[in-house]
């Protein structure tokens, strides 16, 4: 949930938890849903090609400039100075460019859509290393936020608008008088209060019914614009560690019409969700579930789990640029001797509770080595040291790799301390192994920037014996990638953009395909077949088909999305379709451009690293609530900007093979699969 800083207090209080209502309820199973609006658009305005270098070296800040329109040098980047003065100068120039780009984006949307300053607000912005600033806006109607009114504008450094995505509605407010009451934080009409809305949500979530007078409420306002309500449940059924808050909002329905109600943020154990409760219908009309589903002895790249090989003792794997103080530094303290650091806090969760600071972690020896060989045992707790070491290693490794492709502090990555490089901080990943709350599950909860995400990995038993998901790095990669795609799509403060339908499915597909790709090696070829979750399922895998470029092994296409009498009716299986398209693109690029095992290099000259760069950049280009078609186009536009159309046809051929070709279409109701290529790619 995002409420922009001009509307509310910067932090919400009132942490509570529901106990004993339905202990067996698995909140992570709650399906997200919401309006399927066909009026959402994504349009490419310009190709964004420039004379600048497209090598894998970053573009450097020029040593001097006369205006904010000329901040970048065309020369390859030199190693930046580490002096405080140089760092401060780079930050000031970056801020100047970012501010100017935001102004250009504001001017564009005001002229393009004939809207005024009081009809939108700037949610966030982030500038990529390729000279594109991604600016995110939220919609206001008479001062009230429209929860699914989101716009993103992609601006080149010369001020050129490259593309935009728009889900602003043109509907007007039907209840101006009542809105103004709520904007001032006054009581207004008592027929439908935040307490009423919470009761509706509790019933929808199948909790026991409470009487209205049992719910206490506190009201906070900021700038006298909108009231934020913090809600408390009775003492006998709550404990520390819980948060419920609500605020007045609009939601645009399937036809773009406005519905007034309360948007509620609701955190329960393994799941955080946001929901819209309509004042008119007294029903829940939208839910976005935020949860998707030294030296270290670990299962390294190329060895996803104990089933594929042995552990290796990896020495000094930290990346100095992504993790300047290493992995085992906690805040301003000296080296930690446990799996606890700036990027990740890894611990057991046998009790299945949200508290994490005082739970068990393995200790490093005097040489700062986490050397715990895994020994298969019927008692899985015997392997907790090896599991936590593996979990800590992989979450940190992913942090460092994604950092070089643009998921850095400013873009909302996961760090407690951001070293004055932008972003909010205070959000290193809380990673639980052997989570006892629910078996056979893996969950990643992604709140907005500045709030800690949580990864919960449980013990799995489908294989007939208990297997620890924290030893299966493909599952760790899948879950961590949920956090990356959620923070990058729609901006760091709007984490609901991948909530349902094709957007949610792509979240699953990105997780799968990164889990497959990040275990590729120099000896692998497009003949390789990969079953995600093979270890925890005894070799079967978690999807209907494995990842393969062989259509006989994996036949999925765009035509299968929501097809009746098939497995492709939920986000995980539809995600297999999206992931399979990207897997085709990956091999097209590797076959032509080759492979490098230097994953941190973010090289634009090798197929595997360029593929990661384009997919990650595409997440920032694409609009909120993207469709397959819009996400495909965002990747294509990212390629145009980054490598100047040299690899367009490799991308087109991958998508076209799986039915998302040049003539594919989706009008919000019907999908048309197509395998044709654009004219420039026809042989």
Q: What is the mean pLDDT of residues 120-144?
A: 93
Both tokens of 488, joined, read 């990058």
Closest CA to 417 of 511, 322, 494: 322
- Of residues 500 and 397, which shows the higher confidence score? 397
Instruction: Supply φ then ψ for residue 72, to 5 degrees.
Output: -115, 140
Other Cβ atoms within 10 Å of 463 Cβ, number: 15
Classified as helix, coil or strand, 102 is: helix
- For residues 503 and 440, membership in a common domain is answered with no
Residue 573: the pLDDT is 94
Instruction: Please answer whether residues 481 and 515 qualify as being in contact, where contact means their C-beta atoms are separated by less than 8 angstroms.
Output: yes
Residue 58: the pLDDT is 28
Say if residue 74's pLDDT is above 70: no
Closest CA to 165 of 653, 633, 509: 633
- For residues 32 and 45, membership in a common domain is answered with no
User: CATH number of the domain that 676 lies in?
Assistant: 1.10.390.10
Q: Is 519 marked as binding a ligand?
A: no
Structure-derived torsion over alpha carbons of residues 74, 76, 81, 82, reported in degrees to the nearest 10: 120
For residue 235, is it within any domain? yes
- For residues 637 and 682, membership in a common domain is answered with yes
Say if residue 222's pLDDT is above 70: no
For residue 7, is it within any domain? no
Question: Of 2-6, 8-12, 378-382, 465-469, which one has max mean pLDDT?
Answer: 465-469
Both tokens of 295, joined, read 């030296």
Say if residue 297's pLDDT is above 50: yes
Residue 174: the pLDDT is 57
Residues whose CB falls within 8 Å of the CB of residue 298, separated by 6 or more in sequence, listed in order: 311, 312, 314, 389, 390, 393, 394
Other Cβ atoms within 10 Å of 416 Cβ, number: 18
Residue 436: the pLDDT is 86
Q: What is the mean pLDDT of residues 44-72?
A: 36
Q: Which of 259-263, 332-336, 423-427, 436-440 has the lowest mean pLDDT?
A: 332-336
Residue 85: the pLDDT is 42
Instruction: Please answer whether residues 359 and 347 qualify as being in contact, where contact means their C-beta atoms are separated by less than 8 angstroms.
Output: yes
For residue 487, is it within any domain? no
Other Cβ atoms within 10 Å of 71 Cβ, number: 19
Say if residue 175's pLDDT is above 60: no
Instruction: Please answer whether residues 157 and 243 qualify as being in contact, where contact means their C-beta atoms are separated by less than 8 angstroms.
Output: no
- For residues 597 and 646, membership in a common domain is answered with yes
Instruction: Please answer whether residues 153 and 48 qualify as being in contact, where contact means their C-beta atoms are separated by less than 8 angstroms.
Output: no
- For residues 28 and 54, membership in a common domain is answered with no
For residue 411, is it within any domain? yes
- For residues 125 and 234, membership in a common domain is answered with no
- Of residues 10 and 102, which shows the higher confidence score? 102
- For residues 412 and 361, membership in a common domain is answered with yes
- Of residues 8 and 551, which shows the higher confidence score? 551
- For residues 101 and 190, membership in a common domain is answered with no
Closest CA to 164 of 176, 173, 177, 151: 151
Q: How far is the C-alpha of 370 from the C-alpha of 386, rounded, in Å? A: 8
- For residues 157 and 254, membership in a common domain is answered with no
For residue 82, is it within any domain? no
Q: What is the mean pLDDT of residues 74-92?
A: 39
Q: What is the mean pLDDT of residues 382-402?
A: 97
Both tokens of 313, joined, read 């003792």
Last residue of a domain, one of 241, 270, 289: 289
- For residues 553 and 683, membership in a common domain is answered with yes
Q: Tell me the Ramachandran region of residue 476: left when phi exceeds 0, alpha when psi lies from -120 to 50, beta otherwise.
A: alpha
Say if residue 367's pLDDT is above 90: no
Catalytic residue among 348, 479, 584, 639: 479
Last residue of a domain, one of 289, 318, 349: 289
For residue 76, is it within any domain? no
Q: How confident is the model at residue 651 (pLDDT cuts 50, 70, 90)?
A: very high
Q: Is 478 marked as binding a ligand?
A: yes
- For residues 104 and 238, membership in a common domain is answered with no
Residue 268: the pLDDT is 65
Q: How confident is the model at residue 468 (pLDDT cuts 50, 70, 90)?
A: very high
Q: How confident is the model at residue 652 (pLDDT cuts 50, 70, 90)?
A: very high
For residue 637, is it within any domain? yes
Q: How far is the C-alpha of 102 from the C-alpha of 125, rounded, in Å? A: 7
Both tokens of 253, joined, read 């329905």
Other Cβ atoms within 10 Å of 341 Cβ, number: 27
Last residue of a domain, one of 124, 142, 166: 166
Q: How far is the C-alpha of 660 from the C-alpha of 571, rounded, in Å? A: 18
pLDDT in tens, 203-217: 888 776 678 888 888
Residue 62: the pLDDT is 23
Q: How far is the C-alpha of 354 from the C-alpha of 358, rounded, in Å? A: 11
Q: How far is the C-alpha of 246 from the C-alpha of 196, rounded, in Å? A: 11
Q: What is the mean pLDDT of residues 605-618?
A: 99
Say if residue 77's pLDDT is above 60: no
pLDDT in tens, 406-449: 999 999 999 999 999 999 999 999 999 999 867 899 999 999 99
Q: How far is CA 417 from CA 183, 392, 401, 451, 452, in A?
A: 35, 17, 18, 12, 12
pLDDT in tens, 470-493: 999 999 999 999 999 999 999 999
Number of domains in the chain: 4
Instruction: Please answer whether residues 276 and 251 qualify as being in contact, where contact means their C-beta atoms are separated by less than 8 angstroms.
Output: yes
Instruction: Please answer whether residues 340 and 348 qualify as being in contact, where contact means their C-beta atoms are separated by less than 8 angstroms.
Output: no
66 is catalytic: no
Q: How far is the C-alpha of 72 from the C-alpha of 513, rounded, in Å? A: 34
Residues whose CB falls within 8 Å of the CB of residue 107, separated by 6 or more in sequence, listed in order: none
Q: How confident is the model at residue 654 (pLDDT cuts 50, 70, 90)?
A: very high
Instruction: Please answer whether residues 677 and 664 qualify as being in contact, where contact means their C-beta atoms are separated by less than 8 angstroms.
Output: no
Say if residue 90's pLDDT is above 70: no
Classified as helix, coil or strand, 292 is: strand
Say if residue 112's pLDDT is above 70: yes
Q: How confident is the model at residue 34 (pLDDT cuts 50, 70, 90)?
A: confident
Q: How confident is the model at residue 12 (pLDDT cuts 50, 70, 90)?
A: very low
**What residue numbers bound the domain in which 280 lies?**
15-37+175-289
Q: What is the mean pLDDT of residues 141-149?
A: 91
- For residues 234 and 252, membership in a common domain is answered with yes
Both tokens of 159, joined, read 């001020």
Residue 47: the pLDDT is 65
Q: Tell me the Ramachandran region of residue 143: left when phi exceeds 0, alpha when psi lies from -120 to 50, beta otherwise.
A: left
Residue 183: the pLDDT is 46
Residue 73: the pLDDT is 27
DSSP state of 558: G
Residue 203: the pLDDT is 87
User: CATH number of the domain that 463 lies in?
Assistant: 3.10.170.10
For residue 490, is it within any domain? no
């Amino acid at each position: 949930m995002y409420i922009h800083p001009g509307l509310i207090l910067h932090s919400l209080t009132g942490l509570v938890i529901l106990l004993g209502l339905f202990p067996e309820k698995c909140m992570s199973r709650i399906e997200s849903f919401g309006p399927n609006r066909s009026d959402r658009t994504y349009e490419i305005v310009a190709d964004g090609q420039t004379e600048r270098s497209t090598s894998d070296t970053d573009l450097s800040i020029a040593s001097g400039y006369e205006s904010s329109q000329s901040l970048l040098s065309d020369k390859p980047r030199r190693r930046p100075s580490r002096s405080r003065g140089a760092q401060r100068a780079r930050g000031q120039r970056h801020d100047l460019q970012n501010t100017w780009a935001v102004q250009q984006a504001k001017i564009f949307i005001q002229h393009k859509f004939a809207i005024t300053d009081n009809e939108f607000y700037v949610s966030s912005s982030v500038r990529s290393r390729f000279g594109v600033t991604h600016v995110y806006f939220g919609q206001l109607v008479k001062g009230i936020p429209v929860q699914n009114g989101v716009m993103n504008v992609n601006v080149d450094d010369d001020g050129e608008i490259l593309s935009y995505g728009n889900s602003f509605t043109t509907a007007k407010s039907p209840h101006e008088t009542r809105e103004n009451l709520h904007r001032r934080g006054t009581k207004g009409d008592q027929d439908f209060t935040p307490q009423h809305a919470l009761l509706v949500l509790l019933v929808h979530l199948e909790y026991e019914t409470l009487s209205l007078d049992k719910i206490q409420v506190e009201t906070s306002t900021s700038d006298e614009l909108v009231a934020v309500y913090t809600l408390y449940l009775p003492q006998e059924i709550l404990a520390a560690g819980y948060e419920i808050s609500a605020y007045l909002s609009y939601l645009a329905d399937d036809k773009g019409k406005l519905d007034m109600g309360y948007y509620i943020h609701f955190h329960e154990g393994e799941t955080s969700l946001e929901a819209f409760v309509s004042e008119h219908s007294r029903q829940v009309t939208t839910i976005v579930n935020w949860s998707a589903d030294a030296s270290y002895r670990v299962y390294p790249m190329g060895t996803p789990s104990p089933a594929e090989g042995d552990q290796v003792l990896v020495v000094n794997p930290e990346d100095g640029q992504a993790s300047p103080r290493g992995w085992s530094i906690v805040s301003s303290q000296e080296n930690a001797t446990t799996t606890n650091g700036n990027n990740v806090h890894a611990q057991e969760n046998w009790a299945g509770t949200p508290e994490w600071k005082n739970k068990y972690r393995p200790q490093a020896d005097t040489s700062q080595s986490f050397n715990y060989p895994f020994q298969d045992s019927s008692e899985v707790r015997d392997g907790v040291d090896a599991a936590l070491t593996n979990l800590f290693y992989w979450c940190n490794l992913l942090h460092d790799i994604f950092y070089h492709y643009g998921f850095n502090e400013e873009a909302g990555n996961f760090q407690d301390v951001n070293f004055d490089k932008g972003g909010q901080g205070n959000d290193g990943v809380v990673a639980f192994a052997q989570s006892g709350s629910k078996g056979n599950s893996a969950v990643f909860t992604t709140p907005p920037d500045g709030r800690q995400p949580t990864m919960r990995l449980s013990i799995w038993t489908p294989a007939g014996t208990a297997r620890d998901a924290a030893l299966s790095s493909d599952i760790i990669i899948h879950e961590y990638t949920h956090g990356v795609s959620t923070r990058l799509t729609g901006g760091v403060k709007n984490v609901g953009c991948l909530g349902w339908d094709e957007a949610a499915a792509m979240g699953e597909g990105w997780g799968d395909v990164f889990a497959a790709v990040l275990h590729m090696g120099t000896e692998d070829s497009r003949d390789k077949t990969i079953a995600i979750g093979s270890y925890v399922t005894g070799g079967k895998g978690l999807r209907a088909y494995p990842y393969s470029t062989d259509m006989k092994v994996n036949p999925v296409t765009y035509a299968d999305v929501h097809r009746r009498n098939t497995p492709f009716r939920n986000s995980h299986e539809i995600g297999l379709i999206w992931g399979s398209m990207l897997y085709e693109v990956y091999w097209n690029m590797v076959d032509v451009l080759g492979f490098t095992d230097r994953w941190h290099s973010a090289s634009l000259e090798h197929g595997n690293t360029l593929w990661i760069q384009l997919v990650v950049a595409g997440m920032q280009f694409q609009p909120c609530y993207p469709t397959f078609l819009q996400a495909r186009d965002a990747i294509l536009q990212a390629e145009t900007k980054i490598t100047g159309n040299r690899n367009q046809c490799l991308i087109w051929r991958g998508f076209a093979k799986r039915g998302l070709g040049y003539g594919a279409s989706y009008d919000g109701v019907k999908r048309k699969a197509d395998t044709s290529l654009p004219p420039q790619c026809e042989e």
